[in-house]
Amino acid sequence: MVSLPSAPPPGEPPDLAGIDAAALRVAFGHPAFSRKDGQAEMWRYDNSGCKAFFFLYSNGTTFTVRHVETVPRGQEMAADANCLAQLRLHTPVS
């Protein structure tokens, strides 16, 4: 039997929680991958050292970020600040 990995620590990056899709695009550019699932969207950003997953939900008029995770995970929350900083600089996707 394979055991599941532990859940990520709770918490969201304070500067990203609640921003809308337009602001996310300004900060990070075009996602490497996106998926729509009813009233939710997942946007993934990649570089050679990490990946970030943004989970956006409709608030009726636009989509806003409700959760962020990175691989590798952060120590204090599910999103690693160093990964997000690298992606914010629009480092090349590998």
Which residue segments constitute the domains of the chain, with CATH numbers given?
21-88 (3.10.450)
User: How many Cβ atoms from other residues are within 10 Å of residue 61's Cβ?
Assistant: 7
- Binned at pLDDT 50, 70 and 90, residue 77 comes out as confident
Residue 12, both tokens: 């969201």
Q: What is the mean pLDDT of residues 57-68?
A: 93
If phi > 0 it is left, if psi is from -120 to 50 it is alpha, else beta; for residue 83 that is: alpha
pTM for this predicted structure: 0.84
Residue 50's pLDDT is: 95
